[in-house]
Amino acid sequence: MTRTKRKLGKQQSIRCNHWLDVMDELNIGAFVADSHRKITAINLSAQALLGLRASEVQNQDCREIFTGVPCTVNCVLNHPDAAGDRNPDIEVVDEKNQRHLITRMATPIFNSQEEIAGCMTILQDHSPITQLIDRLHYEERRLKIILDNLDLGIFSVNRGGLINFFNKAAENISGYDRHQVLGQSCTMIFSGEQSPDVCELKASIASGENRSSHQGRIIHKDGIAIPIRANYIALKNDKNSIVGGLATFHDMTLVHQFNRAISNRYTFHDMIGKDPIMRKIFEMVTVVAPSNATVLIEGATGTGKDLLAKVIHSSSPRSNKPLVKVNCAAIPENLMESEIFGYVKGAFTGADRDKPGRFSDAQGGTIFLDEIGDLPLSLQAKLLRVLEDKEFYPLGSRRTRKVDVRIISATNRQLQVLVEKKLFREDLFYRLNVMRIELPPLKYRRGDLPLLISHIVRSLCAARTVAPPVISKTAMNILLNYDYPGNVRELENILEHALIICREAVLQVDHLPDYLRQVQQSVVTKNDSAIPTGQKYRERQVIEDALEKVSGHRGKAAKELGIERTTLWRKMKKFDLL
């Protein structure tokens, strides 16, 4: 062997040993074999997984030593194109008699003449990856075949921030195909140039130091913000010069949902919508939430009134205090007063002790009165006193009790109509109607449907730890053209049904509920085919506001709108306002 060849061989050995050490830090087993299949190196993780010592395998034929994890695909020494192919998962028992499910992958090692000099084999234990790669040499592209098969998102950029590698897990998490992002700025998968994640990546490239982001965000192809935990590291060449950066990240959607459920805290990111109607609502909520103003939320069943109340509370100064929900339609009328306001000992037979009500439970926080339209008239006066004087009488008590709560109420019935029918107190209505937010039905914000469908599918699949399926064009057309009388709640139920039935990579029409399959794919009427749904909803809103301003007087409302009374009547009939 010439001196040059010995030098090249030594450099190759040093580089392989470096990567074996890196894999050890990740608790990933790895070993290297030469072109004759002789084992030249094995890291500690692989020794622990296989129950073998380095001295037992050194210079031995890999086909004879690793009978417990045999190659069942083409050997990369003879078939370089098989690099990165996964062998079927194999169960092995380590030296401590613990079982491990192992995935085996291999990639060829090339010398400076681009000849196969051996191979590196990865033994990936399916336990969580607790640490990330600390650095990756820019020129070692062959190892990116391995990175493409790891269960965490990875992408790399050059010094200018342009993406030059994007693995399969990154594709799954972001929704982008790698061909859509290669050569593009990394800002396209974050929220712009000023994104904290972009800043962390740039800082890492500039300083050469590793950076971490425990609350990062990637913007999905459909526009949804996906929570991630990420590490950003600088990439160096053989001369130790920084040539770019690498990001590794985990999808934290399931953790985010779990933490949110435990803390019961919601943010504006939990509300999905880009339709102008929803944007206007979001803008209003950002102003209303920090105040102590009483809020009335109106909207059809399933539009998200409950979620909006939680968002308002979580964004208010009272967020660290309780949010107490009362469903006025679910509590029997004879128990309503004692449930909401509590009672004192001896108030009735069986009242052997004092019991605080929901208002007392919400002290310092927020009480959410859902379905307020079903509150009995007998209790409406008592609620009015709480709003006016911040005090109430518990059932059976002769002493008032002071309370500091913010009241958010919601209804799927128009309180103005109930007032006209003498079913709801007018003075209470005006007290509740300080800030009124109306959530539109889903059929009036069809532009949000693709966004909602993508978000719901991702959330449901994250909870089941499965990859989201692709929705076929025909199935998507049906989903986009259904009216959803149950609104977002019905959409969630439909998608959950479909995901349970679907056992394939593509969600087809057959996976949708039977009743939905019978709906025609086009629901645009002849008269309204040229009018966008958002515009129709805004027109309806303008008419409602005009009628409310003049207490329902159609003549005055028509004059206010500058249209004929007969035109107003036709529009009221069209929008079901008669």
Say if residues 358 and 326 touch (Cβ distance below 8 Å).
yes
Strand 211-219 and strand 225-236: pairing? Answer: antiparallel
The number of angstroms, rounded, from the C-alpha of 482 to the middle of its chain's C-alpha atoms is: 24
The tens digit of pLDDT for each residue in 168-194 reads 888 888 888 888 888 888 888 887 778
Question: Lowest mean pLDDT: which of 2-6, 113-117, 554-558?
Answer: 2-6
Q: Where are the alpha helices (DSSP H) in 374-448?
A: 377-389, 415-420, 426-432
246, two tokens: 């690498």
Q: What is the predicted pLDDT for the residue at 308?
A: 92
At 522, the pLDDT band (50, 70, 90 cuts) reads very low
More confident residue, 445 or 574: 445
pLDDT digits (tens, 9 = 90+) for 74-110: 576 666 555 545 455 566 665 566 666 676 777 777 7
Split at pLDDT 50, 70, 90, the class of 125 is low
Is residue 27 scored above 60 in pLDDT?
yes
218-236 pLDDT per residue, tens: 888 877 788 888 888 888 8
Q: In Å, how far from its chain's centre is CA 570? A: 43
DSSP state of 472: P
Residue 484: is its pLDDT beyond 80?
A: yes
pLDDT band at 372 (very low <50, low <70, confident <90, very high): very high
**Is CATH 3.40.50.620 the classification given to domain 268-439?**
no
Picking from 365, 328, 360, the residue whose alpha carbon sits closest to that of residue 343 is 360
Q: Which of 91-100, 168-177, 536-545, 562-571 has the lowest mean pLDDT?
A: 91-100
CATH classification number, 533-574, choose in 3.30.1330, 3.90.25, 1.10.287, 1.10.10:
1.10.10
Domain ranges within the chain, ordered by starting residue = 1-129, 132-251, 268-439, 442-517, 533-574
* Closest to 100 (Cα-Cα) out of 42, 200, 20, 27: 27
**Architecture per CATH, 132-251:** 2-Layer Sandwich (3.30)
**Which residues are CB-contacts of 145 (< 8 A; sequence separation ≥ 6)?**
83, 84, 105, 107
Could you tell me the pLDDT band of residue 499, with boundaries at 50, 70 and 90? very high
Tokens of 166: 């994007």
Q: State the pLDDT at residue 181.
A: 86
Among 220, 208, 242, 276, which Cα is nearest to 541's? 276
| Residues 405-452 pLDDT 10s | 999 999 998 888 899 988 899 999 999 999 999 999 988 888 888 888
* Residue 394's pLDDT band (cuts 50, 70, 90): confident
Residue pointed to by tokens 């009221």:
572
What's the chain's average pLDDT? 78
Tell me the two tokens of residue 213: 């982001």
User: 131 pLDDT band (50/70/90 cuts)?
Assistant: very low
Q: 1-129 falls under which CATH superfamily?
A: PAS domain (3.30.450.20)
Query: Higher pLDDT residue, 92 or 43?
Result: 43
Tens digits of per-residue pLDDT, 290-314? 999 999 999 998 888 999 999 999 8
Percent of the chain at pLDDT exceeding 70: 78
pLDDT of 410 reads 94
**Do 1-129 and 132-251 have matching folds?**
yes
The pLDDT, as a whole number, for residue 243 is 83
pLDDT score for 323: 92
Are 94 and 44 in contact by the 8 Å Cβ rule? The answer is: no
What string of DSSP letters covers 176-188? --HHHHTTSBGGG
Say what the pLDDT of residue 217 is: 85
Please tell me the predicted confidence (pLDDT) of residue 312: 92
82-96, 192-206, 275-289, 481-495, range with the lowest pLDDT: 82-96
Q: What is the pLDDT of residue 428?
A: 92
Query: Looking at the domain covering 442-517, what would its CATH class be?
Result: mainly alpha
Res 200 pLDDT > 80 = yes
Name the burial class of residue 91, with classes exposed (0-12), middle (13-18) and buried (19+) by CB atoms within 10 angstroms of its CB.
exposed
Per-residue pLDDT at 9: 47
Lowest mean pLDDT among 32-41, 262-271, 293-302: 262-271
For residue range 304-360, list pLDDT tens digits in order.
899 999 999 988 999 889 999 999 888 888 888 888 888 888 777 777 788 888 999
pLDDT tops 80 at residue 16? no
